[in-house]
Amino acid sequence: MQTVAVLFARADSIYKTLPGCDVYDMERDARIYDGPHPVVAHPPCRAWGRLRTFANPRPDERNLARLAVALVREFGGVLEHPAGSTLWPSQRLPRPGARDPWGGWTLAAPQQWWGHKAEKATWFYIVGCEPYDIPDVPLVLGEATHVVQSRKRQDYRPHITKAEREHTPPELAVWLVELARRCTLQPQPA
């Protein structure tokens, strides 16, 4: 079984229960990861997301996402961030439907498809796996029972908690690990 490095995981991460996962949480510090396994990267998003003006990230937090991009490009794998994250233009990541010089591409999919209570629109930057080689993507139709946050609306739905915003649904974690295992980089000519 191919080992997968999971970077920037929560201390109570579901990945710690999955076989073949080498998990780096805050205590273990993903900044020391030096390969050679493909990665699943969950860098902090509060400095990059739609609500970044209200966030209070640590001074070094934005650089963790930049490092995650570099590690996905170097070792293959997948980076997960909110749809529309400003990390995409900052690091010249391809928008859905485009490619970058590393062969990377972006899949846009809601986490609701993998069992999240809220839709949670997400972008996945993938390097080392073609779209036709990814694991099957579940499709869930209908509206999510909860929202991440909302303006006052007539069709009120409850908000998810902060912990629910940060946790990866178990089905998505399994899918991301399998995706990373399928990411293989071709040796670059010297």
The tens digit of pLDDT for each residue in 87-135 reads 999 999 999 999 999 999 999 998 888 877 777 788 999 999 999 999 9
Please give the average per-residue pLDDT across 180-186, as a whole number.
89
User: Is a pLDDT exceeding 90 seen at residue 161?
Assistant: no
Query: In this structure, is residue 144 part of a structural domain?
Result: yes
Residue 50 confidence (pLDDT): 63
- What does the block give as tokens for 23? 């998990």
Per-residue pLDDT of 2-42, as tens digits, reads: 999 999 999 999 999 999 999 999 899 999 999 999 999 99
Is residue 120 domain-resident?
yes
Q: What is the DSSP letter of 131?
A: G
In a domain, 190, yes or no: no
Judge contact between 21 and 39, C-beta under 8 A: no
State the residue range of the domain holding 171.
Answer: 4-182
Would residue 151 count as lying in a domain? yes
Q: Say what the pTM is.
A: 0.88
The three-state secondary structure class of 122 is: strand
Q: How many domains does the chain have?
A: 1
- Classify residue 100: in a domain, yes or no: yes
189 lies in a domain?
Answer: no
Residue 45 domain flag? yes
Tokens of 130: 């073609």
Q: Is residue 123 part of a domain?
A: yes
CATH of the domain at 135: 3.40.50
**In this predicted model, what pLDDT tens digit does every residue of 52-91 receive, in sequence order?**
555 566 768 778 999 999 999 999 999 999 898 889 999 9
**DSSP 8-state assignment for residue 188:** P
Contacts 24+ apart (CB under 8 A), 100-108: 102/73, 102/127, 103/127, 103/128, 104/72, 104/73, 105/131, 107/131, 107/134, 107/137, 108/83
